[in-house]
Structure 1
Amino acid sequence: MQKLTGKQVRHLRGLGHHLHPVVMIGKEEVSESLIRSTEEALDVHELIKIKIQEGCLMDRKEAAGILAERTGAAVVQVLGRTILLFRRSPEEKVELP
């Protein structure tokens, strides 16, 4: 899992505000296919927004922690039913302060 400084987290939160969710967590909760989808989205975008749907009974922070651990990403923010994850890719699409 990546470690981010406070300044980097604030910067990523600002960038993430305008993103649309690319991964949805439903009643299946955190499955292998969801982890694969999250991996693919992180490879493409580096910074992704994940939406927890009403059918998911799992705690939002627990879901964020599991996804971050399994994908090697950092949890930038958990706000309401939305999770923001970041993982650096070789192309470095997002510029960090």
Structure 2
Amino acid sequence: MSLSLTNAQTRFLRGQAHGLKAMLQVGGKGISPALVQEVDAALEHHELIKVKVAAEDREARDALIDELVARCGAALVQRIGHVAVLYKPSQDHRQIVLPRG
């Protein structure tokens, strides 16, 4: 189950993610359980991360991003080229307060 965000929340998170560097990279082997675990841990700690996806064509890249979002239960904030911005609120220590509506 992935999160759903309003337009205002998406705009806010895009602004927050602007200065971030890509933390993780999805390689040619696709999405492994270890990668999903790493993304989950990074989302729990940071809540907002960038992931770089190394895929040849746009359809394969979009499919990998969509699968990663679904398996992590995160929200896709933005996708630009090979980089996707993911958001998932932390269970223990929330740092990002989303705007309402």
Normalising by the residue count of structure 1, what TM-score does the alignment of the two structures yield?
0.90
- 2:19 corresponds to 1:18: yes
Aligned-residue RMSD, C-alpha: 1.3
Runs of 4+ in 1 over 2 A off after TM superposition: none
Deviation at 1:6, TM superposition (A): 0.2
Alignment length, in residue pairs? 95
Distance 1:60 1:8 in 2: 24
The residue type equivalent to 2:94 in the other structure is E
What SS does structure 1 have at the residue aligned with 2:22? coil
Task: For structure 2, list consecutive stretches of 5 or more residues without a partner in the other structure.
Answer: none
Deviation at 1:47, TM superposition (A): 0.4
Identity %: 35
Contact 2:53 / 2:65 at 8 angstroms: preserved in 1?
no
Higher RCO structure, 1 or 2 (CA under 8 Å, sep 6+)? 2
What SS does structure 2 have at the residue aligned with 1:33? helix
- Give the aligned partner of residue 45 of structure 1: 46
Normalising by the residue count of structure 2, what TM-score does the alignment of the two structures yield?
0.87
Deviation at 1:7, TM superposition (A): 0.3
